[in-house]
Structure 1
Amino acid sequence: MDRTGTAASVSRAASAEQLRPGDVVVVTVKRIGINGEGIGYFRRKAVFVPGALPGEVVKARVTAVHPRHLEAEAFEYERRSPDRTEAPCPVYGPCGGCQLQHLRYDAQLRAKEELVRESFERYAGMASPPIRPILGADDPWGYRNKAQLRVGVGRDGPILGLYAPGSHRLIEMPACAVQHPVVNRAVEAVRGALREVRVPVWNEKTGEGALKSVVVRASRADGRVQVTFVTAGRELPGKNALIRELRRRLPELASVAQNINPDRTPLVFGDETLTLWGNDRLDETLGRLRLRLSPRAFFQLNPEQTVRLYDTVLEAAALTGRERVVDAFCGTGTIALWLAPHAAEVRGVESVAEAVADARENARTNGAANAFFFEGTAEHWLAVWEKKGFRPDVVVADPPRTGCGESLLRTVLDMRPPRFVYVSCNPATLAKDCRRLLDGGYRLEWLQPVDMFPQTAHVECCALLVAG
């Protein structure tokens, strides 16, 4: 029987194409998918089963039929994996922020290595991609330095949480197992302050109310906390009382900011940010770097693993002090500044003006006189600089999940820098872009996976490509 108590008989369909939603299949799970789901096969058609693990045999009810795969929900386990474990989070599953808490950490690492391998086999056509052993975290819990939470209304007042996957149903977050303890304390303080002051919450259906989201960031350098309230308009009713209450509840508070986002959009931040109290930036360190982070500034969520990732980038760049380096998606400049002491000159390019301003300030803070930052796209600036006689020895790219884009790849192939160091959070687009570079004459030396986000299906990877 399935979880509703209904008798469930296995489908006798001769082919997967005959299956319909509601049919029952028996699936042996072979691997973990890119979203953390278990993947098995029925009559040679892939079946995606959330929560199922490699080696498990499950009875699952088909929930959706697609041309190339089926989606199904497991309701009975005929064989369970020895790697299965109890997830510690009370809202694991409904929350959707983590996908692998029910898988032992050593098995998570193996699964993520396999994700990289499968991506390069499938999208780059490489039978044996040169993958190094993944760099796992010393502590796979309590690593996140930032919480980005939607605000809703509950029985006792405002609640903070995440939308359940594929819905706008808000799941209230208790203390989160992957958030740093300081972040959890700060979120609890914000929740209490909001309930005390009764700030009107924005209603996405009617457009009424003020408060949409709360972003909390904690510094590993000094334990101080930056809180940003995202509102639908410039008005934040009760803001002075809210700040007083927050200061009372959270001694670690360093700053309170307001970001204005009037749009109905899944994007959290709008373009305008106001400092309501305290410093306009949060002091942070990353290895030897000293950083000052504005509320919207991008900063890696797992500082300990970020050091491992950036050291891998430094190894790939193989700098001797004479090289000219371009960081093609520099953000707030952290990779560029990590490389600057080892290079003759580093130039970073970023399309977001606020991030460029942060990068320049970070360069001044760290005394990096050989680091320069430019607003725009890397392909534009590389062409401009080439006309002036500047050709990089190393190009580093850490693009969005969508990849580098054809324009930048074409520019790199035209200029042929001796080393191209590619950092990616999406193994599929990394493999596709590497295939493009391999076809253009580059050689893939190695791939280094790094587990930046334990308990999730995400895997970061650094690839070193050398011009042939």
Structure 2
Amino acid sequence: MQRDCVQCEHKKGKKKAHFHIGGHMVEKKGFYIMAHEGTHIQLKPQQVIRLPIKRMGINGEGVGFYQRQVVFVEGAIPGEHVLARVQEVKRQFVRASLLKIIKRSPARINPPCPVYDECGGCQLQHMSYEKQLVEKRELVKEAFSRYTRIRNLPLEETVGMNAPWAYRNKAQLPLQKVGDRVAMGMYSAQSHRLVEIGDCGVQHEQVNKVLELARRELESLGVPIYHEKKHKGAIRHLVARVGFTTGELQVVVVSRTSDFPQQQAFISRLITQFPAITSVVLNVNPIKTSRIFGTESRVLWGKEKIEEKLGDLTFRLSALSFFQLNPQQTVQLYRQVERVANLQGAETVIDAYCGAGTIGLWLAASAERVIGMDTTKEAIVDANENAQHNGITNVEYHVGAAEKLIPKWMKAGLQPDVIVVDPPRTGLGEPLRTALVQSPIPRLIYVSCNPSTLAKDCAELVRAGYRVKQVIPVDLFPQTAHVEAVCLLEAGR
């Protein structure tokens, strides 16, 4: 029997069932609770809450606010109202699992991948592609709103793909022995549980086919599969990369041992059944580590490198070469860089964090001089080889950190007209930010894979006098929460 409430003098029968937390009245509605406006309740694990989803988080989760607490709900879409069960309570945020959708977004679709909920490789297959592009733009907008004071951010629409499937040119998949079978797939998010992915929708069709063939032949031949805990067995990963424009295909077998049983039989079966293969490489990784590749590689059959084209440029790719995973959309990314660079033919361009030299080589025809640098020696070897292979002579590449070389060169008198930076997710190193502040560059083009670090770095540069002129989100990885951005900054107020 409901009794009168002695705390707030609500009479029985006059008010819905309720209780008090910290002096605030809370109504009980079924098996979840709703606090009155202004109430602040410390949520607890297993508690069920109702909340509207306001935006998308950096990892693709829905983000809601429950009594001033940030709540991340995986699988929820902005605009939806959901019931969620609290799983984890941290000081600054709460994680909750989706129980029920009360108000459904019109952008919600059925994920086409049968293991979407288990795999974790994609985060947005439950969302229409048009909505994905909108929310990725919002990610960039939210980051700038949080970290900068820029009003009227010149943010363009997200550059998307016409066909946002089968775009990845490379897959690297771990193997496990399960009974008499060889299992191949991806580790589920935040776990070490292997999920067999089969015909992956974001991978190029040839990559899916050749990896399945290789897995099947390893199983048929009884080749020993690596056992992680015992550090025994041979084959750890299978890797495949295809050239979208050339059709060339490379298979890399990552083994704990320098050779493996039935090696020649495996190669013979592979190349006989899959004539598109142009290169088979063995990479040896003998160390007990979570890293995929070891330092030693050798060609078992065919060519050492395969070729791929970006626009009019041809790139030769070895087994360990870094190359963008979505070559079709990489062309769109570089076209945006070229557009905002607006080169007239007389400029000196620095290509920082240059990798295999792709951005600098793309811009070289419109510049007088291009200088690139990277900390990886092998990348610089590839960059020089790519320049020579394409007949480009106005470029030079150096081994070293951009944070050290650029300040050093600028102190020695180098005055670049344009600097293109494409840093890791952590953003620009402090010495490079300092150099850019002390010696302002007429045009600074920041290619970012992390909206938060982009916005943080821009905030410092804007305080030093730079102006953000254009920000262009580019969807390099459809069906995932990842978004790239091209940002043009100019010196002077």
Fold shared, TM-score > 0.5 on shorter chain: yes
Moved more, 446-455 or 263-272: 263-272
C-alpha displacement at 1:404, in angstroms?
1.3
Q: Is the 8 A contact 2:177 2:225 kept in 1?
A: yes
Residue type at the aligned position of 2:405: W
Distance in 1 (alpha carbons) for counterparts of 2:324 and 2:458: 24
C-alpha displacement at 1:271, in angstroms?
2.1
Q: Does 2:418 correspond to 1:394?
A: yes
Q: TM-score, normalised by structure 2?
A: 0.91
C-alpha displacement at 1:125, in angstroms?
3.0
Counterpart in 2 of 1:349?
373
Residue type at the aligned position of 2:229: K
| SS of residue paired to 1:18 | coil
Counterpart in 1 of 2:74?
50
Unaligned runs of 5+ in 1: 1-6
- Alpha-carbon displacement from aligned partner over 1:106-163 (angstroms, at most 9, x marks no partner): 0111000100000000012334321011111011111111111111123452221110
Residue type at the aligned position of 1:340: A
Q: Does 2:454 correspond to 1:425?
A: no
Give the aligned length.
Answer: 462
Counterpart in 2 of 1:10?
32
C-alpha displacement at 1:73, in angstroms?
0.7
Distance in 1 (alpha carbons) for counterparts of 2:250 and 2:193: 27
Counterpart in 2 of 1:313?
337
| SS of residue paired to 1:93 | helix
Superposition map of 1:238-249 within 5 A:
238-249=262-273
Q: Which of 158, 163, 188 is the matching residue for 1:164?
A: 188
Q: Which of 148, 153, 161 is the matching residue for 1:137?
A: 161
Q: Which of 297, 301, 318 is the matching residue for 1:294?
A: 318
Relative distance call for 1:184 and 1:291 in structure 2 (3 A) is: same
Counterpart in 2 of 1:369?
393
Q: TM-score, normalised by structure 1?
A: 0.95
Relative distance call for 1:92 and 1:16 in structure 2 (3 A) is: farther
Distance in 2 (alpha carbons) for counterparts of 1:126 and 1:210: 55
Q: Which of 43, 56, 60 is the matching residue for 1:36?
A: 60
Distance in 2 (alpha carbons) for counterparts of 1:448 and 1:264: 42
Moved more, 432-441 or 337-346: 432-441
Superposition map of 1:68-79 within 5 A:
68-79=92-103
Q: Is the 8 A contact 1:13 1:19 kept in 2?
A: no
Q: Which of 305, 327, 352 is the matching residue for 1:303?
A: 327
Distance in 2 (alpha carbons) for counterparts of 1:262 and 1:419: 46
Relative distance call for 1:199 and 1:385 in structure 2 (3 A) is: same
| SS of residue paired to 2:86 | strand
Q: Does 2:134 correspond to 1:110?
A: yes
Q: Which of 137, 148, 168 is the matching residue for 1:124?
A: 148
Distance in 1 (alpha carbons) for counterparts of 2:218 and 2:482: 32
Counterpart in 2 of 1:3?
none
Unaligned runs of 5+ in 2: 1-28
Moved more, 409-418 or 38-47: 409-418
Q: Is the 8 A contact 2:406 2:432 kept in 1?
A: no
C-alpha displacement at 1:8, in angstroms?
7.4
C-alpha displacement at 1:237, in angstroms?
2.8
Counterpart in 1 of 2:280?
256
Q: Which of 244, 247, 263 is the matching residue for 1:223?
A: 247
Q: Does 2:476 correspond to 1:452?
A: yes
Counterpart in 2 of 1:285?
309
Distance in 1 (alpha carbons) for counterparts of 2:408 and 2:273: 52
Distance in 1 (alpha carbons) for counterparts of 2:454 and 2:288: 31
- Alpha-carbon displacement from aligned partner over 1:240-294 (angstroms, at most 9, x marks no partner): 2221121122111111112222344333222222222111111111111011001
Q: Which of 184, 203, 208 is the matching residue for 1:184?
A: 208
Distance in 2 (alpha carbons) for counterparts of 1:128 and 1:387: 35
